[in-house]
Amino acid sequence: MRNHWIFIGVMVLLGLPGVVLRLGDIHPAPELAAATFGISILAAAFLLSWGAETAEMDISQGLALAIIALIAVLPEYAVDFVLAWEAGSDPEEAAKGLAIANMTGGNRLLIGVGWVTVFAIFFYRTRLKELVVDRQRSLELVFLAVATIYVILIPLRHAVTLIDTIVLVSLFVIYLIFTSRQETDHVELVGPAQAIGSLPNARRRTLIVIILIYSATVIFTSAEPFAHNLEEIGREFGISEFFLIQWLAPLASESPEVLVAGLLAWRGRAAVGMGALISSKVNQWTLLIGTLPLAFMASSGDWGFTQGLPLDDRQREEIFLTAAQSAFAIAVFMNLRMGVREAVALFVLFATQLFITNEQARVYYAFAYAALCIGLLVLHRKDLPHTVQSAWDIIRGRPDQDEPAKQAHHA
């Protein structure tokens, strides 16, 4: 147990340099700065994963994952809010479409890299060809499906408006309310999480809150300069600003949540790790998109229900492509499981986009995602009602109908 506390202390210390550099306004060489901030984010991810596991002793797993997802996605909010604010104050910045570039890049990375990474770790550790997630994930999938249906219609307009804010933020709040109502499951803790969980209730809960606040501080202060220094390194190689903002910046800001999920998967909790990423996707696909118009309008001073972050043709195509990828990812998990072929398809379709600069190709990829989505929904048409029913049962507070059978099986 002593070694576990030493490991926790080491992670706390490793998280400090990023905070010191940021708050001390210290600017080392981009390579050294990126390494320092990256190590701090990694340390915070370890602490978050232990905090998430231990928090399940007091609140539902779904709510714990939603809170961790919200903390882990803070860097993405920080970067995107700054870009949306700059777009509101400068028409030239608005024309670049960097806020939408960052948002769509982050969402596509989360699925194309994050979801696939968790599955790859799961496959490596178990050699099983299917990752099955818990029944509770049906709630996230249904909310994600509703958000995707809404967002896929945004490209028909020329702005993300205050109406979108009301709809998407409300959807996220409702999701959190229903998630908090789920019952707390028994959780077996190992490693540093076990050390934290062995504390008396009051001390344990206090320490968890401290860990979450500290991790959020490290991530929030380290992720933006980490992204900035990666961009500086990228510019040295002549990479375009749009590409850097769409892919390198989200690679930095998405790393905490992917690391948390990957650590959970490595410790044999791949289903929980995947659940964390699904929750992150709900978070980004509702709250992140919905709050971008607020940052833009606060900066521009132009308020109104039909006003908001402007969209040009490329940005509408990016949103359409991202929504199509989201639809395919939802279809993959509509039977609450992901197989090798689905994981490979998610990765290949994502990875090949990075090397094709033709604008028309984005539309082709979107239709490819849509076609695969329809194909999977047809293939899993018998599972779809069960997933929706599970989500409805969770909303109504009904227990898992299969729980007695599961308990008998474990007995």
Task: Please provide the DSSP assignment of 145-204 as one string.
Answer: HHHHHHHTTGGGSSEEEHHHHHHHHHHHHHHHHHHHTSPPPP----HHHHHHHTS-HHHH
403 pLDDT more than 50: no
Q: Which carries the bigger pLDDT value, residue 311 or residue 259? A: 311
Give buried/exposed letters for 33-47 (b at 16+ CB in 10 A, else e): bbebbbbbbbbbbbb
Q: Note whether 129 and 270 are within 8 A (CB).
A: no
pLDDT of residue 183: 63
**Entry pTM:** 0.81
Rounded-to-integer distance, Cα 310 and Cα 159, Å: 4
Rounded-to-integer distance, Cα 8 and Cα 195, Å: 9
102 pLDDT more than 90: no
Ranges 155-164, 199-208, 256-265, 275-284: which has the least confidence? 256-265
Contacts of 324 (CB under 8 A, 6+ apart): 152, 365, 366, 367, 369, 370, 373
20 pLDDT more than 90: yes
Whose CA is closest to 276, among 267, 286, 265, 287?
Answer: 265
CA distance readout (Å), 122 to 35, 81, 193, 331, 350: 27, 34, 20, 20, 20
Rounded-to-integer distance, Cα 381 and Cα 47, Å: 40
pLDDT of residue 187: 61
73 pLDDT more than 80: no
pLDDT of residue 369: 96
The domains found in the chain, sorted by start residue, are: 2-400 (1.20.1420.30)
Summarised one tens digit per residue, pLDDT across range 123-152 is 999 999 999 998 888 999 999 999 999 999
Q: Note whether 84 and 292 are within 8 A (CB).
A: yes
Q: What is the mean pLDDT of the chain?
A: 85
332 pLDDT more than 90: yes
